[in-house]
Amino acid sequence: MIEVEETAIPGVRILKPRRFGDARGWFSETFNRRAMAEAGIDIDFIQDNESLSAAPGTVRALHFQAPDFAQTKLVRVLTGAVLDVAVDLRRGSPTYGRHVAATLSAVDGRQLLVPKGFAHGFCTLAPDTRVFYKVDAYYSQSHDAGIVWNDPDIAIDWPVAPDKATLSEKDLRLPRLADINPPFVYGAD
Strands 184-185 and 90-91: parallel
3-state helix, strand, coil in the chain (%, to 5): 10, 45, 50
For the chain, the domains span 8-14+45-185
Can you list the alpha helix ranges (DSSP code H) found in the chain? 33-38, 169-172
Catalogue the long-range contacts made by 27-33 (C-beta closer than 8 Å, 24 or more residues apart): 28/109, 30/76, 30/109, 30/111, 31/74, 31/134, 32/2
- pLDDT exceeds 90 at position 49: yes
What lies within 8 Å, CB to CB, of 22 at 6+ separation is none
**Whole-number pLDDT of residue 187:** 87
Domain 8-14+45-185: CATH superfamily, name plus number: Jelly Rolls (2.60.120.10)
- pLDDT exceeds 90 at position 1: no
- pLDDT exceeds 70 at position 98: yes
143 has catalytic annotation: no
**Whole-number pLDDT of residue 189:** 66
- pLDDT exceeds 90 at position 188: no
Residue 37 banded pLDDT, cuts 50, 70, 90: very high
What lies within 8 Å, CB to CB, of 173 at 6+ separation is none
Can you list the alpha helix ranges (DSSP code H) found in 59-172? 169-172
**Whole-number pLDDT of residue 123:** 98
139 has catalytic annotation: no
Start-to-end CA distance of the chain, whole Å, equals 28
Residue 148 banded pLDDT, cuts 50, 70, 90: very high
| 8 Å CB contact between 36 and 42 | yes
Candidates 63, 138, 139, 186; catalytic one: 63
* 161-170 confidence digits (pLDDT tens): 999 999 999 9
Candidates 96, 133, 138, 143; catalytic one: 133
The pTM assigned to this predicted structure is: 0.95
Cβ count within 10 A of residue 4: 13
